[in-house]
Chain A
């Protein structure tokens, strides 16, 4: 007994060292799922408030860049407004449905917070969710053109399936002759997709503009999708193989608009039910 006590006394520092290290390692191992540790500190109010101070300070250092981006975006939006206003004025004279225009297409701006554009199954995450009335199936645009379709929504974020995803099939038209086909992507480049179902009797030229067809409730008519890059027709083919250069550069995508069609329920209700 006395020997044990003497041993403990003699090596007390070393034992304390071992105990503390074991506690530290246990903490490390038990919280190994990274999210767990993350949650532990993220939930800690003091830690977050201190890091918040840091963020507030460092936020000032990026102000110049953010300002420039906002100014550029403002200019672009103003340009678009002018364009659209003249369009509306022109149409208002001839189009009697104009007075229902307020029933169509509401826009929600959002920022891309996460994306994957280099794999076979690409996705975007944007920072608007059910709290901002985003719903599954709504279309997403950028100022360059179509981006994709919302596929999953939670409170603050939404998952967008982009045009460059193999499950995506977008109904499109060739602007010049109004012929309709389906845009489909099967990789690998994030700048190009294929346009299917354009029969060989139709005239397609390189440089033709591809726009949305307006045959779904997701996108308005005539939104830019891309430009025909290459047309090939092999012997025996009934359809062209058309490569389209997409107008949206997904790799540099930052801000998008989610569009909501207030009439989409009615649109669906009148369609024949599939058995």
Chain B
């Protein structure tokens, strides 16, 4: 049941990302990558499994974005850091084993976790994509706007699921 739910969420998020959010451009400033919600909300597996799943997900995204390696690197990074962050934030890891969500970790913790991982992931993606800091302010603006949109969508999606 839980596995099916997670796989379904993976697929739904991937489709949303590829068909809708990849085409959002917003004057080059808005590139939200909402599919990372699948990684953020994944139940806590053994860490090697976490990273391998993240690697696969990133690779699939790269295929759709014609950007081999970029999403893969970013996804593996947040998959590596997520258990560390969770361990710092949550007192009762048993509950989280099943599912990381607003219900299990609480709204403020969930937002903090999402913001942190989102900033990391988007930062890595945009930096690797640009390969330069020459348009620093545009890059920074794009980073902030995209992260804000991603956060908004992820929170919206989780409340929508609850409703």
Could you list which residues of chain A lie within 8 angstroms of chain B, going by C-beta atoms? Answer: 12-13, 16-17, 20-21, 23-29, 31, 34, 37-38, 40-42, 44, 47, 50-51, 53-54, 57-58
Contact = CB atoms under 8 A, between A and B. Distances in A.
Given A16-B48, A57-B19, A47 B68 contact: no
Interface residues of B, number: 24
Nearest to A42: B66
B126 interface: no
A38 B80 CA distance: 28
B80 A17 contact: yes
State the majority secondary structure of interface residues on B.
Answer: helix
Given A17-B51, A41-B63, A31 B18 contact: no
Interface in B12-27: 18-19, 23
Contacts of A57: 19
Contacts of A21: 73, 76-77
Given A13-B47, A17-B80, A20-B51, A50 B66 contact: no
Contact of B64 (A23, A29, A51, A58): A51
Given A16-B47, A17-B51, A27-B62, 5 more contacts: A13-B51, A20-B76, A28-B70, A28-B128, A31-B68
Scoring A16, A24, A25, A37 by chain B CB atoms within 10 A of each residue's CB, the highest score goes to: A24
Interface in B39-79: 47-48, 51-52, 55, 58, 62-70, 72-73, 76-77
State the majority secondary structure of interface residues on A.
Answer: helix
Contacts of A34: 66
20 contacts: A13-B48, A16-B47, A16-B48, A16-B51, A17-B51, A17-B80, A23-B55, A25-B69, A26-B69, A27-B62, A28-B67, A28-B128, A40-B66, A40-B68, A41-B63, A42-B66, A50-B18, A50-B64, A51-B64, A54-B23
Nearest to A26: B69
A40 B65 CA distance: 11
A24 B65 CA distance: 15
A6 B7 CA distance: 35
Contacts of A54: 18-19, 23
B72 to A, nearest CB: 4
Given A12-B48, A31-B68, A53-B19, A47 B76 contact: no
Interface of B: 18-19, 23, 47-48, 51-52, 55, 58, 62-70, 72-73, 76-77, 80, 128
Scoring B18, B67, B68 by chain A CB atoms within 10 A of each residue's CB, the highest score goes to: B68
Scoring B52, B65, B77, B80 by chain A CB atoms within 10 A of each residue's CB, the highest score goes to: B80
A44 B102 CA distance: 37
A47 B64 contact: yes
A41 B64 CA distance: 7
Contacts of B23: 54, 58
Contacts of A12: 48
Contacts of A47: 63-64
Contacts of A53: 19
A58 B18 CA distance: 13
A30 B4 CA distance: 36
Contact of A28 (B51, B66, B69): B69
